Amino acid sequence: MRKYFVFLLILAAFFFFTSPGFALKVSQQTFQRRLKEEKLQTKLVSFEARPFEVFTDQNLPDSMKLRIKKIIEGAAKSVGAHFGYYPSGTAQLKLLQGSAYDSIDDPDLATSGFYQNKKIRMLFDYKQAKQSLTEFEVVFRHEYTHLIIASIDGGKTPRWLHEGLAVYEERGLRAESTVRGGHFIRP
Ligand SMILES: [Zn+2]
């Protein structure tokens, strides 16, 4: 009798998650966000900060580019040393302002950065550069950890461990942060 009940429960869950309505809603939203991101991509300018090509929606002052470069190189060194991994190719980092970022972020999660498909996207306010750079370092270390794990684990690391390690690596130079909300790895 109990077996029968469990079987029914599994069957109900299966039909819920595979029902056309559910699948359609999820895929449509993801599809729309991808489309927006592709459109946005054509308007971005970029500069190099190894191992990244950094995309922004306006040209940043050289002094800011230099500081971003230093933070990226420092994080790549220190997080890389913990995992013994340094990417050989070039990865993509997009720094987007408010509405541009929100248009490609999942509204249900409302994050300040996310890693997906070998690319890091981060919310970055150019006008408040000083504050943004402090937050930038914390969020970048977090997302960069996701990138490293995803590059070496073949997709086998459970999500809780992914997040735990990423949060652990946020500490580096700064022990505390004022970063908005959670940020997640997305399949
Ligand atoms: Zn995360």
Structurally, the chain folds into a number of domains equal to 2
How many angstroms separate the alpha carbon of residue 59 from the centre of ligand 1? Answer: 28
Check whether 176 has a pLDDT greater than 50. Answer: no
48 plus 119 within the same structural domain: yes
CATH assignment at residue 108: 3.30.2010.30
CA 162 to centroid of ligand 1, rounded, Å:
7
Do 13 and 55 share a domain, yes or no? no
**Same domain assignment for residues 79 and 13:** no
**Shared domain check, 86 and 14:** no
User: Do both 125 and 175 map to the same domain?
Assistant: yes
pLDDT digits (tens, 9 = 90+) for 82-136: 999 998 889 999 999 888 888 888 877 778 888 888 899 999 888 877 667 878 8
Q: Report which residue type is found at 96.
A: L
Q: How far is the CA of 87 from the centre of ligand 1 (A)?
A: 19
Looking at the structure, tell me whether residues 140 and 112 fall in a common domain. Answer: yes
Distance 7 CA to ligand 1 centre (A): 34
Residue 5 has pLDDT above 50, yes or no: yes
Residue 177's pLDDT is what? 45
Among the listed residues 152, 33, 50, 35, the one whose alpha carbon sits nearest the alpha carbon of residue 102: 33
pLDDT band at 33 (very low <50, low <70, confident <90, very high): confident
CA of 45 to the centre of ligand 1 (A): 26
Ligand 1 center to residue 99 CA distance, Å?
A: 21
Section 36-47 average pLDDT: 90
Residue 118 and residue 52 share a domain = yes
The mean pLDDT of 183-187, rounded to a whole number, is 60
**Same structural domain, 59 and 106:** yes
- Pair (97, 8) in one structural domain: no
29-39 burial, b at 16+ Cβ within 10 Å, e below that, comes to eeeeeeeebee
Nearest Cα to Cα of residue 166 among 82, 77, 67, 72: 82
Distance (Å, whole) CA 152 – CA 83:
9
Together in a domain, 36 and 50: no
- Identity of the amino acid at 168: Y
Q: What is the pLDDT of residue 175?
A: 43
4 Cα: distance to centroid of ligand 1 (angstroms): 39
Domain that holds residue 4: 1-42
Query: Are residues 30 and 88 located together in one domain of the fold?
Result: no
Residues 113 and 154 reside in one and the same domain:
yes
pLDDT tens per residue, range 47-59: 999 999 999 988 9
pLDDT at position 173 is 55
Supply the mean pLDDT for the chain. 82
- DSSP 8-state secondary structure symbol assigned to residue 42: T
More confident residue, 127 or 7: 127
Helix residue spans in the chain (DSSP H): 2-18, 20-41, 62-83, 98-104, 129-152, 159-170
